[in-house]
Amino acid sequence: MVNIFSFGRKKEPRLFEILLESNFLSKENLDEIKQRIENGEPSIEDILLDYISPEVLLQTRVDEFERKFMAINLMKNEKQFNSEDVRALKIHDAIKYRIVVLQKKGHGLAVAMVNPHDDFGAHIVERETGCMIMAKYLCLANDLEHFIQKMYGAAKTMETKQQVREEESLPGVDFDEPDTAIMEIEAEGMIGVRQIVDALIQKAIDKGASDVHIEPTRVSMGVRYRVDGILHNDPEIDRILDMERRDKHLHNAIVNIIKNRSGASGKDMRLDEKEKPQDGRIYIPQLDLDLRVSIIPSLHGESVVVRLHNREVGEFSLDKLGFEADDFKKFSRLIKLPYGMLLVSGPTGSGKTTTLYSVMQIINDPSKKTLTIEDPIEYSIAGAIQAQTNPAKGFTFDKGLRAFLRHDPDIIMVGEIRDPATASMAVESALTGHIVLTTIHANDAVSTIPRLKDLDVDPRLITSTVIASMAQRLVRKNCPYCTENTRYSTRLYQVMNRFGIDYNAESMMKGKGCDLCKHTGYSGRIGIFELMEMTFEMKELILKDATTDEMLVLAKKQGMKSLLNDSLRKVAGGITTEEEVWRVTLGEMGL
């Protein structure tokens, strides 16, 4: 773990500058403190409390954070706090991230933190409690520890502290404390390539990014993060990169560090190979986080994308994906049929995998044998046998499916149908009495049928096996904390009228941007869906070799809402914005 208070650097830490300027410490005191740190005393706070009072230290830390946070003495105010509210956060997370819940009101939290700038710790608290942090207070580490003992019990606190220490001693990349690499770089006034790589990944975790893009340019490099489907630069990372000349040497060094770490996780990436694509993986056991690394050669050097995968699937829930009530009812009925094939289509990053895993959460149970074949395995499914393709060893989707049929499965999930052999085996699996869940690349629900025909699947087999085809996209949601009334364009209202959607033009909503949503106006994403059921009439039409337009007319007549229709309903409901509708669905209607 990086010691951000270490000395021998160009500039003393800000905390000590304030103590010296305020005459709470003398230069002689500071020399003694330095010596004690060099002698290995681990707690800076304990050392300082030998020279100043807790009240002075706490107030100085408020000044250190430029008075952005109010201070709190937890033990002096402990009677104000409800123990049930405090224990909304698990003791493990309270100790590990040095944060406690003070108050829980509705979906809002007030918390006390040793480091209020620890966005990752705050993210963990919000994820585990399902609430949003509305207020942060600054506290001392010793005070926090005593408060935890009081609220959770001394024995439980000691046991959990030992568990946390053991976790932190695990080998691997250390990203436990989110901003340590950034703080080390800033404190030292220098750049270390390993610290930069740590900072890049830590920032991605803090931002809730799905991907980090490290991109070469003609003479330099850039870093962008994909958050809620949109790529963004990060000023803090740009500032770190600019502290040293941002050139080809820095870019190449960062790529080599990433290659080395990928190799350490069991998937070799060659440092000397710069003209072929390479794939790797970095696993962070403390967070159960997979970093999937892809490197491709480009005109100006190697381009790197690191995708973040939390392998825990427990948060997936079908009823939270964004289905309208009637589509949810229909889809819930279809996935419980005893056999057949469900196709989910959409471009990369449209949430197809999340939908399939959410379905698995419902239909997978101990009475059924569930097998999956994926590339790669993105999340862990309790009770399922999951296999990853390995083309180099001849283990492809179609060969995996063929082997699956000898394992007496009830449910089969196929990561993607991308070739005739896989399509043929998926259809055969559904035809022989299994539920087959799979994805396919097609623009809309109806287009999956001609796509299967292009993959040499007989139309008679399509009508015998496919139970439904669903297309989906993701749109960004309005931030719940800064949403306000807005008025959209006449064009939007005209399209809504065309679809017969009820709306109130005076009560449309849009996020204006705030600190909690990083001034984007958006927070999170939600699905829009287009669900086509394989009815008797649709089967007849397919067997007559009908055109896509003819099938689309019938599907809409039978109640299928288009992606555009579904997204407009979400605008009317205040969930998303007009801009998101046009960004995601504009092309399909030629509007």
CA angle at residue 176 from 215 to 127, to 5 degrees? 90
Domains of the chain: 14-168 (3.30.300.160), 180-310 (3.30.450.90), 318-476+525-560 (3.40.50.300)
DSSP 395: B
Structural element, H or E, at residue 223: strand 221-227
Q: Work out whether the CA dihedral 411, 416, 422, 428 comes out positive or negative.
A: positive
C-alpha closest to that of 199 among 226, 238, 144, 152 = 238
pLDDT band, residue 199 (cuts 50/70/90): confident
Please, which residues have CB within 8 angstroms of residue 201's CB and are 6 or more apart in sequence?
173, 175, 212, 291, 306
Q: Mark 358-392 as b/e (b = at least 16 C-beta within 10 Å).
A: bbbbeebeeeebbbbbbbebbbebeebeebebeee
pLDDT band, residue 434 (cuts 50/70/90): very high
pLDDT of residue 64: 82
pLDDT of residue 285: 67
pLDDT of residue 12: 44
Q: What is the pTM of this model?
A: 0.65
Q: For 309-355, how does the pLDDT look when each residue is reduced to its tens digit (9 = 90+)?
A: 766 544 568 888 999 999 999 999 999 999 999 999 998 888 898 89
pLDDT of residue 129: 83
Mean pLDDT for 243-262 is 81
Q: For 142-182, how does the pLDDT look when each residue is reduced to its tens digit (9 = 90+)?
A: 899 999 998 998 888 888 888 887 765 543 344 334 344 44
> Do residues 170 and 285 make contact, with C-beta atoms less than 8 angstroms apart?
yes
> Do residues 93 and 99 make contact, with C-beta atoms less than 8 angstroms apart?
yes
Position of tokens 């436990």?
Answer: 176
Residue 265 reports pLDDT greater than 50: no
pLDDT of residue 130: 79
pLDDT of residue 171: 37
pLDDT band, residue 536 (cuts 50/70/90): very high
> Do residues 453 and 462 make contact, with C-beta atoms less than 8 angstroms apart?
yes
Is residue 221 helix, strand or coil?
strand
In whole numbers, what is the pLDDT of the chain averaged over residues?
A: 84
pLDDT band, residue 505 (cuts 50/70/90): confident
Q: For 79-111, how does the pLDDT look when each residue is reduced to its tens digit (9 = 90+)?
A: 888 888 999 999 998 998 899 999 888 778 889
